[in-house]
Each structure stands twice: as C-alpha cells, then as structure tokens.
Structure 1
Amino acid sequence: MPKLSNRTATFTDSVIRRMTRISNKYGAVNLSQGFPDFEPPREILDRLAEVTREDFHQYSITWGAQNFREALAEKQSRLMGRNIDPNGEIVVTCGSTEAMMAAMMSVTTPGDKVIVFSPFYENYGADTILSGAEPIYVPLIPPEFSFDADVLEAAFKQHPKALILCNPSNPCGKVFTLEELQIIADLAKKYDTFVITDEVYEHIVYAPHKHVYFASLPDMWERTISCSSLSKTYSITGWRLGYVIAPPHIIDTVKKVHDFLTVGAAAPLQEAAVTGLRFGDDYYRWLQDKYTEKRDLFLRGLDRIGIQHTVPQGAYYILLDISEFGYKSDLVFCEKLAEYVGVGAVPGSSFFKEPENRYIRFHYAKKNETLENALERLNDIRKKMPKE
C-alpha cells in the first residue's frame, strides 16, 4: 500500500477534546474543553425556532448570507473604527477554526515561516504545518506572559510570511497592551509580514484591561487578517459560525479557499444569529460582568484551597501550577485528577513549545453552581490525588 501523507506525522489527537472524553468517562466536572453549560441568549434561541419553519434550509451565499454579513459589518465597523464592506471584506466560515485555516492557506506558500507565540492554542502549529509552512515559536514569559522584543525581532529576521496573534490569549488569558501591539505592528511593517489574529474572546476582557483590534492600528489594516467567531460571545460553540475580515485583495483569496474547504456555513444558524449581531452595547457590558463574576468566584475558591494560579486578563482560562504534586507528566496528572478528584483539566504542555510541565488549564465558562461543585471537589485535592 502507498504511504499516507507525512503532514500529520507529528500530530496527536486534540488533547483538549481527549480530556473531555476522559472527563465523561469518570463523571468529572469538565473544566477542560471551553464550552458553556448555560443557554445562549433567549432572543437567539427564539429566532432559531422561527427559522426552522421558514425557508432557510438550502445553501446560503458561499461567503455568508447577505443579512448576516451586513449585521456583522455594522457591529465590527463600530468596534474596529472603520467602515467594513460586507460584500468585499468579510467571509463567513464554519467557526474560527476554519477562519484561521483559510487565512493561513491564503497567505502562506509551502516553505514559508510563521511566528507563533507560546503558549498557544493547539491548532496554530497544526494549521501552519498543514499549510506547508514552518512555525517559529516565540515564548511568552510567565507570570505576565509578556514577550522579549529582541527575541521577537530575531524571529522576524527569519523573514516569516505571517505572525499569529491570539488576543485575548488562550490559554494564558493575556490581553496584549497597546505598547506590545505597536511593537508587533512596527516589526510586521519593517519585515513586511502579515498578522493573522484570533480575536474570539474580544468581548471577554476584565477591567482595567482593554482589547485593541490589531487591524485598527495605524497602517495595519492592509496586512491584517482578522479571524473570530460567535461561539464565545453568544455561547453557541456548537453552531460553528466564524468569520474573516480583511482587505478585499486578501478576502478574494480567502473566499476561494473557504469555498473549497466547506462551501459555506449553516444557513439556518446564520439567520438565527443575526439577532445576536444586532444586540446593543448593553449586551456586551452584561457579558463582561457575567464573566468577571465567574472569574472572581473561581479565583477566590482556588485561593482558599491554596494552589498557585494565573490571574486572567481576558478570555476564561486559568493556569494552575501543579509543581507541588511532583508529577513528571502533566497529562498523567490530568487523567488522575479526573479519576480521583472528579474535575477535568487540560495538561499545559499541550500549549507550550518549551518543555513545560508545571501547568494545567481550567476554564470557567460554566454555571456558578458547576464552578462551586468543581471547587468543592478540588478542596480535597491533596488528599485524593495519588502519588505518581
């Protein structure tokens, strides 16, 4: 038999989704895979019920239903500080996962290099390799997860085609400052590099931190491919509605890649989600308050237990330092945590290029009672966890 492609030779299955399966196996509270256990906004669900009885069951326009793109353009124009053309500067995708892949395949050629900050969401390295490019990893330094500008410039000196910027960041919860973003922008301009952003947590940011859209920086619109989705903002991760926003000459290529990857996102779900895109600013303030409450609840509980952890500036993830337990493998630790303590987590090593074994990742996009249940189980973690 002929050999299979070697593109995936270094891949494993998704560690995040594997930990969901392990959590389910042991009946653990699943704080691994980042999806809510509460309902989306009622207005969106009510519209979805109506849509099932209307004529939205066939393909929409390949790059997104007209009213969806118009509603999205209106929302993001207000936030990004420029008039976005719904017909020439947006492609609707099957989640931000496809948005990132379509962006990567649109700007890279096999043999190119791409800068990836570490820690990183696990798809970024895979997307780079599947595109035939080579990742260059630049470390974000704990506990603030800032970067060394000289190290970053050394990466740029390798003449990468693109840099991937997740802001706010999964898994470390970092919100990049305006000064940090300007350093990246100056280097991108100096070395003529694209910046592909993942801004899926754009509305989950904690005071006093503020999210700045990279494309809004001076001279950055022309070289930025902005990717995001509705998953986290409206608690509809299963709907798989994402998008790419970029200048027309880039979007023309993204449209072609997207067409051959997935044809188009689900038409009925686009129609229902238009309702959410038209929410006023009060919804996003409510969302920020909701997640601030959950973050504070979970941090207070961890502080009572006495385990060291990060304090997220955005997104909804916390990294716990498990050094005190003496495990050589954070994956084994997470498997034992699900089995003996009854809480699901993701081993931090799946996010770092560096040999890092001291962190595990929890998320807190859960009902308060779910978080309290998890904290109650974690309260006896030192008694319940077996020795490695």
Structure 2
Amino acid sequence: MPLADPLADRFAAVHGRPPDCVWRAPGRVNLIGEHTDHNQGWVLPFAIDLGVTVAAARRGDRVLTLRSRQADGAWTIPLDALRPGAVDGWAAYPAGVAWALGGVREPGGADLLVDADLPQGAGLSSSAALECATALALAELYAPDASRAELARIARRAENDFVGVPCGIMDQTASLLAAPGHAVLLDCRTGDVEQVPLPFTGLAALVVDTRAAHALAGGDYATRRAECERAAAALGVASLREADEAGVAALADPLLRRRARHVVTENARVHEAVAALRSSPAPGPVLGPLLTASHASLRDDFAVSWPEADAVVEAALGAGAHGARMVGGGFGGSVLVLADEPDAAAVTAAVRDALAGRDPHVHRVAPAAGARRL
C-alpha cells in the first residue's frame, strides 16, 4: 500500500520541513532463473506490490542523515567520510548508494527517512528496493539526468563494493524497470531487457515467507559464486553462460559439476518459461513443473535450499499446486507457489500445516509496476 502521505508527514515532524520528493521501489519475485545472474545468464523476475519508500530533502552541507520507521536510532554521516565498512546494518544500503553515486556524480547532503512494508530476510529483495528508492531520491535531488539503467548499476555497486554482497544486477533491474502485468527478461551479460507478459488469470501466485531469515552478506553466497567461477575456469569459458550440458558432464570435480549443471539447466528453464508465456494465455501447467525442477536443482545441485522451503514445496505439490520453488539467494527466505485459483485455499492450508509453529506469512502477489515517484 502507498506510504507517501504518512511518511511525508513524519518527515516534516522530524526535520521541520517537508521532503523534496518521495520515491517507492518494489521488491521482486524471481519467477525463474536463480543464481544465473552472477553467471552472466538470464533471469525472469517480476516486481510485487510490497516495497520500500524513501522521503528525501536536500541539505546545505555535505552530510547524509538516515532514519527508518522500522528501526530505532539515526545516522549522521559526512559524505566525504563514506567508505566501505564505515556504516553497518540497514543503513549501509542507502549510505552505499550515496557513496556509489558520488563516484560518478556530485551529490550533496540529504536527509532520508525510510519506510517499508516489504519484509526483510524473506528473499524478496528488500535490500535492492531500499537501494533503488534511495538512488531515485538522490538522483532527483542531484542527478536528474541519470537513467534508470545507470541507477541500477549504481545500486548494484553499492551492494557489491560498499555492503560486500557479490550479487548480480537482477534485483535492481526488476525494481527499477518492471512493467505491471509483465516479467522482466534480463540478459545479465548484455543488460538487454525485454518485458514478457505474465498472465496470472485463473492462477494464484503465493509467496510463502518461511520465517527462516537469510543474510546474503554471509559467506555461503560468496562461496557459491566462487565455485561457479572455478567451474567456468575448468571448462575454459568466461562464464557458465557459455557452458553446455555435455561439457559440464565431463567436469572431473563432482562439486563443480553439480554447481555448473544447475546454472546450465536453469538458463534453459528460463527460455522454456518465456516460450510458454509467449505461446499460452494459461501457462500454469507448463510453468509449474519448471518451477519444481528449478527447486530440485537448487536443492540438490546448488545446495542453497533449506528444510522449511523443501517442506513448503512438498506440501504445496501434495495439495495440488502446479509447481513451487525457493526464491532468492537461498539459505532462508521465501517460496513461490503457483496454483489454480480454486486450489489456493487448500494449498495455503497445507503450507501452513507443514510449517506449524513457524507462523509462515503467505502473500498473494501479481506482477506490479517498477519504482515510482509518489
């Protein structure tokens, strides 16, 4: 739901003046294409109607202040003192955007107040939503000619080099460039974006927050990325985008073979999903098995699933869902379930039973618009 009016009022109460602008950036669900982005492959995310809102106003000095309605305390940081490691916690993401923007532009000081209805740690890209809302707000204040593609690169640099998460650019691209009713087909090597119609007519798309929080700044994500780079080197290719199943099958190292097999087969599943969306107004029966195959690959070959996600997938399929898979980087977060509308209640009940005692959050989602000014 829009948060602009109460956030603007709160900003005025805190700072004694209204904000110059209020921007909202959505979270995303990746329909399919997991851990392919940092391997220069293809991904197919869509924006959702949960997100992060940032109210901002210029300052007359080179100081950045950061406050959140979801967290106590405040940060007051001279822009000239920004460097990786200087800020931690949630504030590292907007501070990182100011730092990354300063590498290509000349931003001045700003007061920022953040609000969110997108849960943290659910695998729905709350970090990218925060980065993108901040990037758009600072760009309106100090770099109005910056394109959204440039801001996506700035937000990614903030997460990679300031926060220390070696993510790809999928999340930032989806948050900034998504169109309502569409998924974003992103070529992560070229940066090419295509809007693909995503008809959920007659389908229920459920995002199940397993309440097992993940933290990609830990070592597991970086380890998987390093393993992919080792597999590409062993195959003699620049990235696993260029690998094929025959070459992967010949890898001597069984661990690298599994990691590479996931990436190669996941890229193929992205293209199969796009073909299904382009050819059928009711793609659920085709998309569902692709999602389930993706989950099996992420669980068995890439080893990034977690017990609650596996339980949700099994329960959803047992209750008649077309398919289900973990979404996000893994090691905690959410599961996407596709079911026919008449089966949604039964699937939701089965999922809740499978996670009894954890009180899972189940969100109904649809492809929403990308970031916008409020």
Task: Identify whether the pair has TM-score above 0.5, normalized to the shorter chain.
Answer: no
Instruction: State TM-score, norm by structure 1.
Output: 0.27
Instruction: State TM-score, norm by structure 2.
Output: 0.28
Q: Which has the higher strand share?
A: 2
